[in-house]
Amino acid sequence: MSKIKVAVIGCGAISKHRHIPEYATNPNVELVAFVDPNLERAQEYANTHGGKAYSSYQELFNNEKVDAVSVCTPNFLHAEVSIAAANAGAHVLVEKPMATTTEEGEAMIEAARKNNVFLMVGHNQRLMPPHVKAKELLETGRMGKVLTFRTAFGHGGPENWSVDGQGSWFFRKEEAIMGAMGDLGVHKSDLIRYLLDDEVSEVASFISTLHKQGDVDDNATCILRMKSGTIGTLVASWTSYKGEDNSTVLWCENGVMKINSDPDDQVILDFKDGSTERYKVGEIATNTKQTKSGVIDEFVDCIVNHRAPSISGEEGLRSLQVILGAFESQQTGRIVQL
């Protein structure tokens, strides 16, 4: 089988740490192009991995035919670039949040459908071993119904992660559109939907800029009600200065499930009868400790085996709509129905 020709559009931190190295180690992939307005940055990757460097996605699509792209641009360009890629006949893997509005998300889904290409969203939390294990354990039914939950994602902020540090687009509202909620909150709205196999029906939130320079949110606390009646909180923070927190606790009819809250055992079940089960299943990738995200291999496998991605545009849009609803709640002071 000939290799899948892949272009990476946007050569910042997520490309550097996840997309490019994971494509480079996938035997089914040939990296053929790197795109970044900072042409030197793109050229460095072309020098290392082969392929060409371009300063714009238009130039890429005018010059060559690629099979698939990763869209790793600032948030405000996700829709524009993804639609252009689909129209050029390329399968699309777009970073989260997939878009900045519902209309953009729907246009992306439509462009992929019309051009008969896949659209996948980089919601890597679904693929992290502790979350896969937690889902598997929930599906056995032994915990009973999930009654309440708390899910949080916090780190010290993108200045520690972005290739541009303090000068990163993450802090500029016209490019990022949303801050910690677009960066971390949307991961958790996606995760809770996936774990509970349920949709969010109502959201209320407090979203603020408490400590960072710039005009985007750095902290959010949201209350969610699921369609099943389950209620819980979702927290996103860029001011978790003493290390990353990516933990979820589910209080169920028959006990408590703790995910990624213990340094040794990633999933712990504490049953009402006093018994405990502990699972070591491998860690969740963090900004400081990179492990494979699984997203690239999943995307490539979908293309190779002609199967639609489970983390589809539709799924990405539902997770985004929770976050958009949270912003609406902050703005109006009301509980928002989704």
Residue among 233, 133, 239 nearest 183 (CA): 239
Say what percent of the chain tops pLDDT 90. 95
Band of residue 289 on the pLDDT scale cut at 50, 70, 90: low
pLDDT at 169 over 70: yes
The pLDDT, as a whole number, for residue 291 is 61
The pLDDT, as a whole number, for residue 331 is 98
Q: How far is CA 208 from the centre of its chain?
A: 21
The pLDDT, as a whole number, for residue 287 is 62
* Mean pLDDT (whole number) for 248-269: 97
- In 3-state terms, what secondary structure has residue 233? strand
How many other CB atoms sit within 10 Å of the CB of residue 261? 18
Task: Summarize pLDDT for 185-206 with one digit per residue, the tens.
Answer: 999 999 999 999 999 999 999 9
The distance in angstroms from the start CA to the end CA of the chain is 44
| Cα(242)–Cα(236) distance, integer angstroms | 15
pTM score of the predicted model? 0.97
Q: What is the CA radius of gyration of the chain?
A: 20
* Mean pLDDT (whole number) for 298-318: 98
Q: At what angle do helices 102-114 and 313-332 cross, to 10 degrees?
A: 170
Domain boundaries, the chain: 4-117, 125-291+320-337
The pLDDT, as a whole number, for residue 288 is 62
The pLDDT, as a whole number, for residue 293 is 78
pLDDT at 246 over 70: yes
The pLDDT, as a whole number, for residue 73 is 98
* Mean pLDDT (whole number) for 253-266: 97
Residue among 41, 286, 10 nearest 161 (CA): 286
**What is the 8-class DSSP label of residue 34?**
E
CATH code for residues 4-117: 3.40.50.720
Task: Summarize pLDDT for 103-162 with one digit per residue, the tens.
Answer: 999 999 999 999 999 999 999 999 999 999 999 999 999 999 999 999 999 999 999 989
| Cα(245)–Cα(166) distance, integer angstroms | 21
Q: Are 117 and 91 in contact (CB under 8 A)?
A: yes
The pLDDT, as a whole number, for residue 292 is 74
Task: Summarize pLDDT for 36-66 with one digit per residue, the tens.
Answer: 999 999 999 999 999 999 999 999 999 999 9
pLDDT at 290 over 60: no
Band of residue 284 on the pLDDT scale cut at 50, 70, 90: confident
The 3-state secondary structure of 168-210 reads CHHHCHHHHCCCHHHHHHHHHHHHHHHHHCCCEEEEEEEEECC
Q: Which CATH architecture has domain 125-291+320-337?
A: 2-Layer Sandwich (3.30)
What is the bridge-based pairing of β-strands 200-208 and 219-226? antiparallel
| Cα(53)–Cα(60) distance, integer angstroms | 9
* Mean pLDDT (whole number) for 69-82: 98
Joined together, the tokens standing for residue 249 give 């606790």
Band of residue 10 on the pLDDT scale cut at 50, 70, 90: very high
Averaged pLDDT score across all residues of the chain: 96
The pLDDT, as a whole number, for residue 319 is 98
| Residue recorded with tokens 């953009």 | 104
| Cα(305)–Cα(141) distance, integer angstroms | 32
List the strands of the sheet with 336-337, edge to edge: 276-279, 267-271, 255-259, 245-252, 146-154, 231-237, 219-226, 200-208, 336-337
* Mean pLDDT (whole number) for 174-183: 98
Joined together, the tokens standing for residue 123 give 């919601």
Give the ranges where the chain is alpha helix by DSSP (H). 13-14, 20-24, 39-49, 57-63, 78-87, 102-114, 129-139, 173-176, 180, 186-196, 295-304, 313-332
CB burial of 168-199 (b: ≥16 within 10 Å; e: otherwise) equals bbbbbeeebbbbbbbbbbbbbbbbbbbbbebe
pLDDT at 172 over 80: yes
